[in-house]
C-alpha cells in the first residue's frame, strides 16, 4: 500500500493498494469527525462493493445510508443531483456529516459537486473503482455535472478529505473500461514522464498496475499542488482533450468513450504538430505504437473540419485564441496559445 499526500487548499491522503475497502471504515473514521454518512453509488457498482463498504463503516460506528442511481453519463445531471440533495435533506444530513463517492468518474464528479454545494459544502471521500477515476478524476477536486449545453459545464473545485483507490476493484472492470482508463495513463506519460510512457509502451501493464497508478497519481499531485484552480500548469492535463471532447461531442457521447477519444486526440494533435513543424522529433509513431499495444484507437472517421468546428467552443478557448497542449518530446507538455485561424490550419491542413 502506498500513500500520497496532496497539499492543496485542503490537504488529503490518496491511499493506493489492494484490499483497502476492507478497512475503509477505519481510514475514513481517521479523517472525519461525524459518524453519519451517505454512500453515493450507481446500480452497477453498489451491488459489487456497497455492502462491504457499509459493513466496514458500521464496524466503526458509522450511521450509513445509501443513495443508488442508474449507471451512465446521463445520470451526471441536474435531475440526479436534485434527487441526491433531496435524499440528503430527508436524512437530515448536517454540515458536519459527509458523503462517500463509491464508483467511477460519474459518481465521483456528481458526489463531489453535491458535497461542494449542499448546505454550502460538506465533506466527501472518494472511493474510485474505475482505472480512469483512480488515476485522474478522483484526485484534484474537480467536480461537475453536465447540462444540455455540454459536459461538465456546471461544477466547483472541492477537494475530498480522503481518496481510497483499492486496486482490487479493477478486477471486476470490463476490459473496455480498463482500456478507457489507459488513455489517461498514456497522457500522463506523454505530458510528464518518459519513464512512465516506456512502462506503458512495454505492454503487460497489468503486471505493473499499482506502480503505474501510483506514478499517475503522483504526477497529478504535483500538477494540482502547483495550480489547483486550473489557471496555468494544470491545463497540460488536457493534452488530447480538445480534439477528444470534439470526437465525443460529434458522436453525441455515444461513440468512443472519454479515454479512447483522448487517445485519438493525443495522436491527431501530435501528428499535426509534427506536420506543421511545431515538433521536430518524430514522436507520433512511438505514441501510435503505445496506443496500439494498449488496445487504444488512434484514428476516427470524422472529417477534420468537423473536428475543428466541434472543438472551438471547448472550455479551453479564450476570446479569439485557443490554448493547445502540445508535447514536443515524450514526457514534456507545453501550453501553446494560438489564434483560432492557426489552430484551424493545424487541425485541418
- In the list 54, 158, 234, 260, the residue contacting ligand GLY (rule: CB under 6 A) is 234
- Which among 137, 97, 104 is positioned nearest to 119, based on CA atoms? 97
Report how far residue 296's alpha carbon sits from residue 198's, in angstroms, rounded to the nearest whole number: 16
Contact of 338 with 324, CB cutoff 8 Å: yes
Q: By C-alpha distance, which of 109, 102, 138 is closest to 13? A: 138
Q: Which of 142, 187, 288, 344 binds ligand GLY (CB under 6 A)?
A: 142
Residue nearest to ligand GLY (CB): 237
Interface stretch with ligand GLY, choices 29-37, 51-59, 85-93, 135-143 (CB under 6 A): 135-143
Smallest distance from ligand GLY to CB 325, Å: 11
The span from the CA of 219 to the CA of 181, in Å, is 16
- In the complex, least distance from residue 205 CB atom to ligand GLY, rounded to whole angstroms: 20
**Nearest Cα residue to 115 out of 148, 77, 157:** 157
Nearest CA-CA partner of 140 in 114, 166, 163: 163
CB of 117 to ligand GLY, least distance (A): 19
Nearest to 177 by CA among 3, 45, 284, 266: 45
The span from the CA of 26 to the CA of 20, in Å, is 10
Under rule CB under 6 A, residue 258 binds ligand GLY: no
Q: Which stretch binds ligand GLY (CB under 6 A): 28-36, 136-144, 271-279, 329-337?
A: 136-144
Q: Of these, 162, 237, 243, 330, which contacts ligand GLY (CB under 6 A)?
A: 237
Contact between residue 44 and residue 102 where contact means Cβ atoms under 8 Å apart? no
Q: Which of 97, 123, 136, 180 binds ligand GLY (CB under 6 A)?
A: 136
Comparison of 25 and 140: residue with beta carbon closer to ligand GLY = 140
Distance CA 118, CA 194 (A): 41
Helix, strand, coil in percent for the chain, rounding step 5: 50, 20, 30
Q: What is the smallest separation between the CB atom of 18 and ligand GLY, expressed in angstroms?
A: 25
Judged by CB, which is closer to ligand GLY: 232, or 339?
A: 232
Q: How far is the CB of 65 from ligand GLY (least distance, A)?
A: 29
Contact region with ligand GLY (CB under 6 A), list: 76-84, 90-98, 229-237, 272-280: 229-237
Does the protein bind ligand GLY through residue 248 (CB under 6 A)? Answer: no
Residues that bind ligand GLY (CB under 6 A): 136, 140, 142, 230, 234, 237
Amino acid at each position: 500500500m502506498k500513500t500520497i499526500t496532496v497539499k492543496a487548499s485542503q490537504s488529503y491522503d490518496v491511499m493506493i493498494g489492494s484490499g483497502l475497502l476492507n478497512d475503509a471504515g477505519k481510514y475514513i473514521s481517521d479523517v472525519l469527525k461525524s459518524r453519519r454518512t451517505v454512500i453515493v453509488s450507481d446500480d452497477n457498482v453498489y451491488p459489487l462493493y456497497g455492502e462491504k463498504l457499509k459493513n466496514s463503516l458500521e464496524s466503526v460506528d458509522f450511521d450509513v445510508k445509501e443513495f443508488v442511481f442508474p449507471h451512465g453519463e446521463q445520470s451526471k445531471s441536474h435531475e440526479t443531483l436534485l434527487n441526491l440533495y433531496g435524499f440528503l435533506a430527508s436524512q437530515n444530513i448536517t454540515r458536519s456529516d459527509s458523503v462517500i463517492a463509491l464508483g467511477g468518474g460519474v459518481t465521483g464528479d456528481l458526489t463531489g459537486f453535491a458535497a461542494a454545494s449542499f448546505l454550502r459544502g460538506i465533506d466527501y471521500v472518494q472511493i474510485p473503482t474505475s482505472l480512469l477515476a483512480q488515476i485522474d478524476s478522483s484526485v484534484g477536486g474537480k467536480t461537475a455535472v453536465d447540462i444540455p449545453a455540454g459536459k461538465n459545464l456546471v461544477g466547483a473545485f472541492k477537494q475530498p478529505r480522503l481518496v481510497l483507490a483499492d486496486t482490487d476493484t479493477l478486477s471486476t472492470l470490463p476490459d473496455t473500461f480498463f482500456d478507457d482508463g489507459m488513455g489517461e495513463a498514456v497522457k500522463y506519460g506523454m505530458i510528464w514522464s518518459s519513464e512512465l510512457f516506456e512502462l506503458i509502451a512495454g505492454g503487460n501493464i497489468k503486471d505493473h498496475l499499482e506502480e503505474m497508478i501510483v506514478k499517475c497519481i503522483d504526477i497529478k499531485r504535483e500538477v494540482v499542488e502547483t495550480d489547483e484552480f486550473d489557471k496555468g500548469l494544470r491545463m497540460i492535463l488536457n493534452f488530447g482533450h480538445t480534439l477528444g471532447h470534439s470526437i465525443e461531442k460529434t458522436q453525441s457521447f455515444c461513440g468512443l468513450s472519454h479515454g479512447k477519444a483522448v487517445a485519438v486526440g493525443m495522436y491527431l494533435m501530435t501528428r499535426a504538430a509534427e506536420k506543421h513543424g511545431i515538433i521536430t522529433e518524430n514522436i507520433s509513431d512511438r505514441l501510435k505504437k503505445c496506443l496500439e499495444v494498449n488496445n487504444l484507437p488512434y484514428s476516427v472517421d470524422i472529417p477534420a473540419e468537423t473536428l475543428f468546428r466541434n472543438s472551438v467552443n471547448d472550455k479551453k478557448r479564450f476570446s479569439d485564441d485557443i490554448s493547445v497542449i502540445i508535447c514536443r518530446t515524450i514526457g514534456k507538455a507545453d501550453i501553446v496559445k494560438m489564434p483560432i485561424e492557426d489552430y484551424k490550419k493545424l487541425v485541418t491542413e
